[in-house]
Amino acid sequence: MGRKLDLGLRESILTLEAGSDTAPSSVKPRGSPKLRTPGLVAAIEKDLSGPNPLTRSALSLKYGVSATTIANVISQDLEGKVRKKCRVHALLNKQAKQRMDRGPRFLRYINGRKWKNVVTTDEAWVYLIDVNGIRKIHYEFRVEWSPESWTNFWKESHPKGVLFVVGVCSCGKTAIRFVKPGAKINSEHYIQHVLKPLFKNDIRKLFSGQLINKVVFHHDSAPAHSSGITQEWLRNSGIKFIPKEQWMGNSPDLAPMDFCVNGLFKWKLFDQAATTVASLDRVMR
């Protein structure tokens, strides 16, 4: 009896094993889903191989698959990673030639460790919309309505603000000098109210003793800076300066006031409270 039971159990096991090839299975085979075919992967790689690739949404519509499938093809099949482009200044042919011509001469002022002797200045505006913690965004949650004061960002055509001049160097910063409202920024004003006190007080404090002989002054090519009157005054000042004929325009890496310091200064002022030009002047000091 025991032998017959053993043979019957063995036959049952063999029957199940024989039918396993055709029996339906609830376990899905491992590997890439059927939608991610070699043809789709190759097509997506072609669409993405260029300076301006299609978006994932565009690829999803083009091939009739989900955005998740597109994302998996990019990250898993192609092992691709998104890289942001670097923002650069576009140069005209004339500007490119100017940089090639002036570059070697300009490098003589900053190569080695000479850059530590350069004092660079610039003018900039700070407006009332740059303070008081005013941001250009707000959040809405679920179905709650935001008050109108949140949803609007008031932009004035001629906002009230303060024009100031400041400089930086490896030894520190100069004093902040404010331009009076309505003042005409011409060569005479620039020399009397900016250059003279800057050269007499600030630069001599930052570079004491014999270091004053190594100082090189830099400013951009604004009309009041590059005029013949200003250039002549600088030549007679006793301080070396970078003449307009050797300054390279469209050079964010060489103009730290424009492309770094002024932005940091405004960021520091963001949470300051000011409702009038006079109070803005006070918080800037």
pLDDT of residue 3: 46
What is the C-alpha to C-alpha distance for residues 72 and 98, in angstroms, rounded to an integer? 47
> Residue 113 CA to chain centroid, in angstroms?
27
pLDDT of residue 144: 65
For residue 266, CA distances in Å to 214, 221, 250, 280 come to 31, 23, 22, 12
DSSP state of 33: -
pLDDT of residue 145: 67
pLDDT of residue 58: 92
pLDDT of residue 7: 45
pLDDT of residue 256: 84
Question: What residue ranges do the domains of the chain occupy?
Answer: 32-83, 93-284
H runs (alpha helix) in the chain: 2-18, 38-48, 56-63, 67-72, 93-110, 148-151, 187-190, 196-197, 203-206, 223-226, 228-235, 256, 262-269, 277-284
Contact 168, 202 (CB under 8 A): no
172-173 vs 161-169, strand pairing mode: antiparallel
pLDDT of residue 274: 86
pLDDT of residue 156: 66
What is the C-alpha to C-alpha distance for residues 63 and 67, in angstroms, rounded to an integer? 10
Contact 202, 152 (CB under 8 A): no
Contact 152, 186 (CB under 8 A): no
Q: SS3 for 132-165, per residue?
A: CCCCCCCCCCCCCCCCHHHHCCCCCCCCCEEEEE
Cβ neighbourhood burial of 174 (10 Å; 0-12, 13-18, 19+): buried
CATH class entry, domain 93-284? alpha beta
pLDDT of residue 266: 86
pLDDT of residue 280: 84
What is the C-alpha to C-alpha distance for residues 101 and 246, in angstroms, rounded to an integer? 9
Strand partners, 125: 163
pLDDT tens, residue order, the chain (285 aa)? 444 445 444 554 444 444 444 444 444 444 456 789 999 999 999 999 888 899 999 999 999 999 999 999 999 999 998 888 877 767 788 888 888 888 888 888 888 899 999 999 999 998 888 888 877 676 766 656 667 666 665 566 677 888 999 999 999 999 999 998 888 889 999 999 999 999 999 999 999 888 899 999 999 888 999 999 999 999 999 889 998 888 877 676 677 888 888 888 888 888 888 888 888 888 888
pLDDT of residue 135: 74
Q: What is the pLDDT of residues 156-167, one digit of tens each?
A: 667 788 899 999
